Each structure stands twice: as structure tokens, then as C-alpha cells.
Amino acid sequence: MPDEDSRTITKRELVNRIADETGQTKVVVRDVIQKFLDSVIDELVDGNRLEFRDFGVFEVRERPARVAQNPRTLEKVPVPAKHVVRFKAGRIMRERVCDEIVAGGDGAGGGKSSAASARGGMNGSSKGAPTGSTNVNGAAAGTAGEQGRDANEAEKGKPSPPTPPPAKPGSPF
């Protein structure tokens, strides 16, 4: 939820702020932060999952190989398998950053606040965009469009085929 007044915070600014708040020297704070970041990377390289309660979970997932299409030439292009880092926000982060109210306080379940519901999901997405947990590249298990279509199918009693998105004028797709 970047605002017009949001800005990028560098490691140097974070070190200065923490040093001022804790009374530690900037050198000590910088070394601790760098050691923490190096340790996170080392654990992910080793294939480990890092869980920080109420903050979030880092893990490495493998994306399978696939065949993509060059939009300009329409040529089929093989895309090799690769590893991606996935971060899932924890309860406190979701409550404070995403305007989400988590029911029960145990992080096991939860509903969305009216602000999150009005946006179409906890990540500010609209219909057809991923909802729920996403990785850094936005991949998700389901979309809001699929969830709505499932509800409509149950009401009608028969499945309806998915409708393709409308074609843009002049587009080769």
C-alpha cells in the first residue's frame, strides 16, 4: 500500500534509527543487522524454512520448467525451472500493514476487515488477481474470479466453461 509520501528506507537509515533508539553504536548495530541478513540468506541457500512468529515465513520454492511465448514474435520459448524465495506475512504484519483483522489472535484463521474486503482481498487485489498467500512474483493457488465461478456453478448445478478475457484491438492474442 505505497502512498505518495512513502519512500525507500536504506540499511544505513535503519541502522541510524536503531542505534539512536537503543543507545548502541552504529558499528555494532550495522554488524548485527548484516549478520542477520547473511544468516537468512545462508539458511535459504541450504533449503531451510525461516519462521519468525507473527512477522512472517521465508522459504524457497521450485518453479517448474514451462514453455512461454514471446509476445512480439509469438515464438514458443522454453523457460527453465528455477528457485524463488517466497515470503508470507505473519499475523502482526498483516494486521498492521494490510489493515487485516485476524480473528482469535492465534494466527490460525482470520477474516478481513471491511477495508480489505472492499479492496477485493487482503493484498489490495481486484477480481482475477491472486488472493491469499502469494510469493514474491505474485503466484497464488487461486484467484477471486475462480472462487466466484465456483460459487455460481454450485447455484446453477452445472459447470460453466471459463470465459476468456476480451481481446484488445490490434493485439495478436
Q: Please tell me the predicted confidence (pLDDT) of residue 98.
A: 86
CB environment 37-62: b (16+ within 10 A), e (fewer) = eeeeeeebeeeeeeeeeeebebbbee
pTM of the predicted structure, to 2 decimals: 0.52
Q: Please tell me the predicted confidence (pLDDT) of residue 56.
A: 95
Q: Please tell me the predicted confidence (pLDDT) of residue 118.
A: 39
Q: Please tell me the predicted confidence (pLDDT) of residue 21.
A: 96
Q: Please tell me the predicted confidence (pLDDT) of residue 157.
A: 58
Sign of the dihedral defined by the CA atoms of residues 125, 143, 94, 23, in that order: negative
Q: If you search the block for the grid coordinates 512461454, which residue do you land on?
A: 68
CA-to-CA distance for 173 and 165, rounded, in angstroms? 10
pLDDT digit string, tens, across residues 149-168: 444 444 555 666 666 666 66
Please return the burial class of 122, using the count of CB atoms within 10 Å of its CB with bins 0-12, 13-18 and 19+. buried
Q: What stretches in the chain show pLDDT beneath 50?
A: 106-154
